[in-house]
């Protein structure tokens, strides 16, 4: 099966590749696949060493969105600070500002506070996904062939030779090949790597 350029929804968490093309054909999985948490397949790669790229973990768009949210939040917080100064002046000097201006400032402050809270919530949710994605892994239940490479952030692991059931997961110094017996397939903790 040629997985081709498959880009599943990263919110789904993981991708189960069972050697079937959407349940229609069976065979090895090769091509390019991206998932935020895990990729699991019976056979990964090809005996013919066809280049197979798996990208796991948080994509650059998540990190970019965190930066964008931070900038937007900073801008809104600056505006809120200025409006707070205006409201403090209106309170210390009653009658110096028209009541309509004070009311508009209060409404704007309430709106900005709600928008800032929404931006914080979105940034927190994305941050949680990024943290969870640090435990991403690729699992081959039966075999993994040479030609498979796994990228997780700045780390890359390239499979050399053919291996039986194994996993490629984050280790102390990057990604490492691990025996299936060393990882709990239901747990996303980081295993000790074997090179």
The pTM of the whole model exceeds 0.85: no
Among 4-8, 67-71, 100-104, 158-162, the minimum mean pLDDT is found in 4-8
Query: Is the pLDDT assigned to residue 19 strictly greater than 60?
Result: no
pLDDT at 40: 83
133 or 156, higher pLDDT? 156
Most trustworthy range by pLDDT among 1-5, 7-11, 129-133, 145-149: 145-149
Pairing of strands 148-152, 52-56: parallel
For the residues 171-195, what does the mean pLDDT come to?
66
| pLDDT beyond 50 at 5 | no
């Amino acid at each position: 099966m040629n997985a081709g350029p498959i880009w599943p929804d990263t919110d789904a968490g993981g991708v189960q590749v069972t050697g079937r093309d959407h349940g229609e054909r069976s065979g090895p999985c090769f091509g390019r696949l991206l998932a935020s948490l895990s990729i699991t397949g019976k056979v990964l790669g090809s005996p013919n060493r066809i280049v197979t790229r798996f990208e796991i973990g948080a994509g650059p768009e998540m990190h970019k969105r965190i930066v964008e949210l931070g900038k937007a939040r900073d801008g809104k917080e600056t505006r809120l600070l200025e409006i707070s100064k205006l409201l403090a002046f209106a309170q210390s000097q009653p009658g110096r500002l028209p009541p309509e201006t004070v009311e508009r400032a209060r409404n704007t402050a309430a709106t900005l506070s709600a928008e800032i809270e929404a931006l914080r919530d979105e940034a927190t949710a994305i941050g949680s996904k990024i943290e969870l994605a640090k435990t991403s892994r690729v699992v081959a239940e039966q075999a993994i062939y040479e030609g498979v490479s796994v990228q997780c952030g700045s780390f890359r692991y390239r499979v050399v030779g053919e291996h039986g059931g194994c996993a490629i997961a984050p280790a102390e110094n990057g990604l490492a090949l691990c025996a299936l017996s060393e990882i709990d397939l239901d747990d996303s903790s980081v295993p000790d790597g074997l090179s």
